[in-house]
Amino acid sequence: MRCLSLLVLLATTTFVSAITPGGKHKLVFIAGKPSHPPGMHEFHAGSMLIEKCLQQVPGLVVDRHDMGWVTDEATFADADAVVIYSDGGKGHPAVQDSHLETLRALMAKGVGFGVMHYGVEVVPDQAGKEFLAWLGGHYENAFSCNPIWEPHFTSFPEHPITRGVNPFQIQDEWYFNMRFRPAFSDGIAAATDGDTKFVPILIATPPDATRDGPYVAPKGPYPHIQAEKGQQESMMWSVERPDGGRGFGFTGGHFHKNWGNNDFRKTVLNAMLWVTKVEVPAGGVESTVSEEELTQNLDVKPAPKPKKTAMDMPKVFQRVVQR
C-alpha cells in the first residue's frame, strides 16, 4: 500500500521545478552500502564530504541517505534530482524491490538523475533500457572495462558542469567504453537523439598499455577494447531529456582520497547543482577538503589480509617454492 500511495503522489505532482517549503531546489543523494577494502568505495564518507561542500550553495538543500536507498520514499515528493553513488550490477540500488518503478515515475515528471562510479553499471536485462533513456548510456559488463589508470583531462566543453574546472590528471578506476545509445555511440562528441541532448564532459585518450589491461574485473584484455587504441573515451557525460530532466554519469570515484583534488571534486559538485537545476556559479562550486576531513566517517572495514609468503606455508610446500 505504501508503494501504491507513493506512485499516486508522484503521478499527481509536478517535478519539472519542484521547490521545497523553504523555497529551495532539492537533491536526494543516496550512498551505497559498505564495499571494497578501506579507502575504496567509501560511499558514506564520500557523500558526506560532498554534502558538506554543498551546504553553503544558495537555493539548494541536500537530503543525503546511506545504505543504498532513502529511509522514507516520501522525500521524493519535492525532489528535483536523485543521485546514486554506490555499487552497481545486479546489486544496484535502482533495481532492488520496487525502486525501479519509483524511479520511472520520477523520471516521467522530469526529475534529474545522476550515477557515480560503480553506480553507472546495470545489468542490461534489469535496467539497461531505463538507463539508456534516463542517462544516455551505462557500463555493460564485458563490453565496457574498468582499468585503474591516470587520464589527462586537458580541455573541456563549454557546459555548466565544467565551469571553473582546470586541466587535471588523477589515478582512479576510470571506466570507459560505455554502452551508449546509438546516436551517442562514440561517446566523445555532443549529439542529439530526438529531443535528448548528449554532451561528453571528461574526455581523455587511454594509453595503449591501459587498453591492453589488466582491467580490474574481468581482467581482460578484451579484443574490442584493444582495437580502439589511440581513440578518445568519455569518463563523464551529461544529457538533457525531453521530459525536462537532466542526467549525468561519472565513472570515477573509486579511491576516496581523490575527493581531496580540487578539480576532480569541483566537476562533481558542479554536476550536482546542474542536475538539480540550480545555477552553477561562473567559477564553479568553491570548496575545501582537508587531509583530516578525508579520514573522517570512513566505513569500518576489515584490513586486507597479508599476502602469504613461502615461510607461511607448510614445510613440504616451502621446499617446493624455494626450488
| Distance in angstroms (rounded) separating the CA atoms of residues 311 and 323 | 13
Examine the pLDDT at 15 and tell me if it is beyond 90. no
Min mean pLDDT across 76-80, 143-147, 258-262, 306-310 is at 306-310
**CB within 8 Å of 122: residues ≥ 6 apart:** 88, 89, 92, 94, 95, 128, 130, 131, 138, 139
Contact 87, 146 (CB under 8 A): no
Examine the pLDDT at 122 and tell me if it is beyond 90. yes
Q: What is the pLDDT of residues 231-285, one digit of tens each?
A: 999 999 999 999 999 999 999 999 999 999 999 999 999 999 999 999 999 999 9
| Distance in angstroms (rounded) separating the CA atoms of residues 286 and 262 | 9
Q: How confident is the model at residue 1 (pLDDT cuts 50, 70, 90)?
A: very low
Contact 270, 163 (CB under 8 A): yes
* Residue 74 backbone dihedrals phi, psi, to 5 degrees: -60, -20
Examine the pLDDT at 2 and tell me if it is beyond 50. no
Take residue 309 and report the three cell numbers written for it: 609468503
Q: What is the pLDDT of residues 180-231, one digit of tens each?
A: 999 999 999 999 999 999 999 999 999 999 999 999 999 999 999 999 999 9
Q: State the total domains in the chain.
A: 1
pTM: 0.90
The SS3 assignment for 67 reads coil
Give the per-residue SS3 of 171-219. Answer: CEECCECCEECHHHCCCCCCEEECCEEEEEEEEECCCHHHHCCCCCCCC
Q: Show the domain range for 75.
A: 2-322
* CATH code assigned at 235: 3.40.50.880
Give the per-residue SS3 of 273-306. Answer: HHHCCCCCCCCCCCCCCCHHHHCCCCCCCCCCCC
Examine the pLDDT at 315 and tell me if it is beyond 90. no
Percent of the chain with pLDDT over 70: 88
Helices (H) and strands (E) in the chain, counts: 9, 14
Q: How confident is the model at residue 314 (pLDDT cuts 50, 70, 90)?
A: low
Examine the pLDDT at 320 and tell me if it is beyond 80. no
What pLDDT does residue 312 have? Answer: 56
Examine the pLDDT at 53 and tell me if it is beyond 50. yes
Taking all residues of the chain, what is their mean pLDDT, rounded to a whole number?
Answer: 91
- Tell me which residue of 52, 59, 105 sits closest to 82, measured CA to CA: 105
| Distance in angstroms (rounded) separating the CA atoms of residues 116 and 83 | 8
What pLDDT does residue 305 have? Answer: 74
Percent of the chain with pLDDT over 90: 86
**CB within 8 Å of 311: residues ≥ 6 apart:** 318
What pLDDT does residue 180 have? Answer: 98
In one-letter notation, the amino acid at residue 120 is V
| Mean pLDDT of all residues in 154-170 | 98
Q: Please confirm whether the linkage preceding 214 is cis (ω < 30° from 0).
A: yes
Q: Which residue has the higher pLDDT, 175 or 321?
A: 175
Q: What is the pLDDT of residues 65-112, one digit of tens each?
A: 999 999 999 999 999 999 999 999 999 999 999 999 999 999 999 999
What pLDDT does residue 306 have? Answer: 75
What pLDDT does residue 17 have? Answer: 55
Q: What is the DSSP letter of 236?
A: E
